[in-house]
Chains A and B, each alone.
Chain A
Amino acid sequence: MIEVENVTKRFGTVVAVDNVSFTVKKGEILGFLGPNGAGKTTTMRMITGYIFPDSGTVRVAGYDIFENPIEIRKHIGYLPEDNPLYTDISVMDYLEFLAQVRDIPKEKRRARIDEVVDICGLGDVLYRDIGELSRGYRQRVGLAGCMIHDPEILILDEPTSGLDPNQVVGIRELIKELGREKTVIISTHILPEVSATCNRVIIINKGKLVADGSPEELSNMMSGRASVVIGVRAPKEEVENRLREAPFVESFAETPSGEEGVLRYRITPSDGAKATEELFKLAVQNGWVLTELYRERVSLEEVFRQLTTSEEG
C-alpha cells in the first residue's frame, strides 16, 4: 500500500531523513517511533506529498509521488503535527469545505458529515467557530477532517499529544476501530500507546531506520539482553558461588522470593548466551530444586532506549 524507497531529505546541512526504506501493507497499523528530531514528521510529509524527497521515491496505492501526487492525496487522510486548523470558520463550514474538495457528491455530503461528527463526538460544537473550541475538541475536528472522505490510509502525526487521559483512551479506541479496515501510520512518543494499538513498529533515529517489526519481534530481537529470573531451594553460598563462576552470567542480584528457604535471583546474561538453558543445566547438575525459571519480557521502552541512545558509541 505504501512503499518508501531509499528516501533522503536534507534541510541545509541537516540530513532529516537518511536513506530510509520500508513498506506498509494494507490493514497494518504502523507505530512510527523516534526521539525528537528523528525525522518522523519529515517522513510523513514526504508520504503525503507536502514536500518532495531529495532522492528516492514513495509509492502509494501504486502511484508514484512525483508522477501522480494528486491521485495519492485522494487515498490519504492526514493529520499534520500540532493539528493545524482554521480559526475563523465554524466546524460545519470546515467539514463542508473538505467534503467539497474531497469530491463527495453533493447529495451524500450532509450524511457523511453527520457520520464523522457522530464518530468524533462533535455534535455539540458543530456551529461554533473552531477558534473557540477547547484543545480536545479541536483535536476531534482535526480527526474528523482527515477522515471525511473515508480514506484507505490514515497518517496521524502525534494525534494524542496534549489530550487528557480520558480523551487519549477515546482516540486510541477510535484509531484501533479505524485500523480494522484501514492502513494507519501513527507517530507518537507514548510507547504504551504503540503496544496497545499497533501491530507493527518502526523506530527511526537521526534520520536512519533502526528497527522494523511487530512489537513482539522487537522484544525478541532484544531478548539476548533480557534478564532471567531463577528461583531455587538450595544452599545460598553454593548457589552464589556457582553463579559467580558461570561464564554465561554477567551479573546477578538477589530479589525477595517471599517464600521460606527459596532463593531468587535476577540474572543479566552475557551477550548471546542461552542463559535460560544454561541455568536449567546448572540447577540439575547441582541437584537444586527449581521453583521458577523464566525470561523477563523486554519492554518496548527498553528496546527504544537501547536503539536510540547506544547508537553513538
Chain B
Amino acid sequence: MRNVLAIVRKELKTYFNSPIAYIFMIVFLTLSSWLFFRGFFLIGQAEMRPFFSLMPWLFLFFIPALTMRLWAEERKLGTVEILMTLPVKDWELVMGKFLAGFILLCITLLLTFPLPVAVAALGDPDPGPLIGGYLGTVLMGAAYMAIGLFASTITENQIIAFIVGVVFCFAMLIVGEEIVLFSVPDFLAPLFRYLGLGVHFSSIGRGVLDSRDIVYYLSVIGFFLYMCVHTIEGRRWR
C-alpha cells in the first residue's frame, strides 16, 4: 500500500506541477456548468438529471485526455525502466496510476457542488437521484479511467493513447444501446445489454442502487486494470 501511495503522490505532483490538472478542471467545470445551465433556464427544470446525463459524453473525451499520459509518457521518456526496476510490483504501479487519475476526477466532481446547491435553492430536489447520480458518475468515470489507462499502456504515443481510449470508451458506452442490440443476433442481445456502460449508469442515476450495477462497474474496472498489468508484465518477456 505504501508503494501505491508513493506512486499516487508522484502522479498527482506531476499533474499539478504542469498545467494539465488545472486546464482539465477549468475546462470541464466551465463546459459542464454551461451546458447544464443552458438547459436549466430553457426548460426551467430544477433537477440534476440533465447534468448527470451529460457525464457519459463529456467523460468520453475528458478522461482519456487525463489518462493518455499515465503510461505512454513513461515509455516515451524511458523512465519506465526506472519504475520497473524499483522494488514495486507491477500491479502496484498500475493501481497507483489509476488512483491518481481517480482522485483528480473526484476533486473535479466535488467542485461541481455549486450546481446541486443552486438547484436546491430553486426547487425541492429529491436527494435519492442526487446521491445516485454522483455515485453513478464516479463509478462510470472510474471505468473510463481504467479503459483509458489500458489504452495508455499499449503505446508510447500519447495521441494514439487518447484516440484508442476514446474509441474503447465509446464502444463500451454504446454497446448496450437499442441500435446496437437491434443489429446483433437475438441470443447476444442480453449480453450486450449487460456490457453497456450507459444502461447501468441510467439505472443508478434514477436513484435505484442495485448491487448488480455496482458489481458490473467494479468488474469493468478490474478487468481493464488486469489488462494493464498483463500488458506491462508481458513486456518484460519480449
Contact = CB atoms under 8 A, between A and B. Distances in A.
Interface of A: 11, 45, 48-52, 70-71, 73-74, 76, 78, 80, 82, 84-90, 93, 97-98, 100-103, 129, 145
Interface string B55-96: 000000000000000000000011111101111110000000
Interface string B201-238: 00000000000000000000000000000000001111
B87 A103 contact: yes
A52 B82 contact: no
A190 B223 CA distance: 49
Interface stretch (B10-18, B44-52, B121-129, B190-198): B10-18
A45 B9 CA distance: 27
A88 B85 contact: no
Contacts of B236: 49-52
B26 interface: no
A101 B14 contact: no
A84 B18 contact: no
A100 B84 contact: no
Q: Which of A11, A49, A88 has the most CB of B within 10 A?
A: A88
27 contacts: A48-B85, A49-B84, A51-B237, A52-B237, A73-B86, A73-B87, A78-B82, A78-B85, A80-B81, A82-B78, A84-B79, A85-B77, A85-B79, A86-B79, A87-B77, A89-B10, A89-B14, A89-B17, A93-B10, A93-B13, A97-B6, A97-B13, A98-B86, A100-B6, A101-B6, A101-B86, A102-B87
A100 B82 contact: no
Contacts of A100: 2, 5-6, 9
Q: Which of B3, B13, B88 has the most CB of A within 10 A?
A: B13
Contacts of B87: 70-71, 73-74, 101-103
Contacts, number: 78
A49 B10 contact: no
A84 B10 contact: no
Contacts of B78: 80, 82, 84
Contacts of B86: 73, 98, 101-102
B8 to A, nearest CB: 11
Given A78-B85, A85-B79, 9 more contacts: A51-B236, A52-B237, A73-B86, A80-B85, A84-B77, A86-B79, A93-B10, A97-B13, A101-B3
Contacts of A84: 77-82
A175 B182 CA distance: 69
B13 A89 contact: yes
B70 to A, nearest CB: 13
A70 B17 contact: no
Contacts of B89: 70
B206 to A, nearest CB: 42
B85 A73 contact: yes
A91 to B, nearest CB: 12
B17 A129 contact: yes
Interface in B22-42: none
Nearest to B235: A51
Contacts of A11: 238
Contacts of A90: 17
Contacts of A103: 2, 87
A80 to B, nearest CB: 4
B14 A88 contact: yes
Contacts of B5: 100
A145 B82 CA distance: 10
Contacts of A129: 17
A49 B85 contact: yes
B114 to A, nearest CB: 31
Closest 3 CB pairs of A and B: A84-B78, A100-B6, A80-B81
Contacts of B2: 100-101, 103
A97 B85 contact: no
Contacts of A89: 10, 13-14, 17
A51 B3 CA distance: 21
B10 A80 contact: no
Contacts of A76: 85
A306 to B, nearest CB: 33
Q: Which of A71, A101, A129 has the most CB of B within 10 A?
A: A101
Contacts of A52: 236-237
Contacts of A48: 85
Nearest to A155: B85
A89 B18 CA distance: 9
Contacts of A71: 87
A272 B78 CA distance: 49
A129 B13 CA distance: 12
Contacts of A49: 84-85, 236
A258 B101 CA distance: 77
Interface in B144-184: none
Interface string B83-116: 0111111000000000000000000000000000
Contacts of A78: 81-82, 85
